[in-house]
Structures are given as C-alpha cells and as structure tokens.
Amino acid sequence: MKFADLDLSKTYTYADYFKWKFDERVELIKGHIFKMAPAPSSNHQGLSGDIHAQLWNFLRGKKCKVFSAPYDVRLPRKSEDDKDIITVVQPDICVICDLNKIDAKGCVGAPDIVVEILSPGNNAKELKNKYEVYEESGVKEYWVVSPQDNTFVVYTLVNGKYDASRMMVAGDVVKSSVLDGFFLDLAELFGE
C-alpha cells in the first residue's frame, strides 16, 4: 500500500495505522490522517536534543521517563483496543510518569508533558488540532517551542482546560508544575 492509496476523507484507527508501511510519516488526529513535515531542520533537532538531554539528566533515577520522536502516543477515548483508538501522535518529546502507560508499541494514554517544536508548515496542526487532543486527553503540560522566533509557551491543564503562560523568550526560565525542581534556562536553550 502507498500513501496515495489512502482515502483521506475516511476515518482511520490505530489498527489501520499499525499496518501501514509507507515512507511518509503520518499522525492520526481524531481519525484523520496528517502527513508529518519533512525531516526537521538542524535548529529544530538541536532544540529537541537539548530539551531531551536536560529532561533525561533531571529524570535519571526518578520514576518518570522521557522519549523523543518517532515515538507513538496513542490517546484512547473509550477503549484502549487498537480498533477503537483514533488519535496517534508523535510529539517531539514526551515525559511519562505512569510507567503502566508504556508498552512495546509506545505510550497508551496521556503523557504528563508533551513538547512540540514548531516547523514551518505545521503550526496549524500543532496549535489547533494537537492542542485540542492534548487538552481533551489530559496532558498536564503542553510545551510549544518556536525556533523561528525563539519563544516558548507552557500550557498547564487546570480543571480540564489549558491555561497558557506568557510567551517566554531568552532570559526567562521555564519551570514545570509536573516536575518539581526542573527548570530550563531559555537563554542557554536559544543560545543567547
């Protein structure tokens, strides 16, 4: 099967997704297929690596685990059965503190933290579609990093809805309500 063979108006499940073996990377959001952007830029990958490294170092010896894309995160609505899951995303980075959510195929259920680094062309998907599914599924913190303008926003889940931090820039320090004691110096991250 080729990507071109798919009917993009159809609703798909993780059972379908798991069978696909084509070159394009895709995500399923509420059953609809979204092609992932081409390979990320060097700047994107550098930011992802830096954030992952800082989280990994902080979490060493603790109960939470950090994973980088490509890593499937399945967000079930009613059942964890593959045929019922209609949202499968690959966040740039995710932190999972309930290790029961980790299986051989990735994560099933909401990670505690999701980090998405914007790439030209994916902003609408990240800022609308993924925001909605992360909020609905209970991701406690959703971090959005924009390498284009060196900004960082943390959305924190409060009573089932996201509360946005102010837009942070170099000189600011990101603190997590999920990971007590963790901080990310944006001057260091953005190289200023």
The reported pTM is: 0.91
What CATH class is the domain 41-189? alpha beta
pLDDT of residue 8: 84
Model confidence over 141-154: pLDDT tens digits? 999 999 999 999 99
Of the candidates 159, 162, 110, 163, which has an alpha carbon nearest to the alpha carbon of residue 139? Answer: 110
Model confidence over 93-136: pLDDT tens digits? 999 999 999 999 999 999 999 999 998 766 666 678 899 999 99
Domain residue ranges in the chain: 41-189
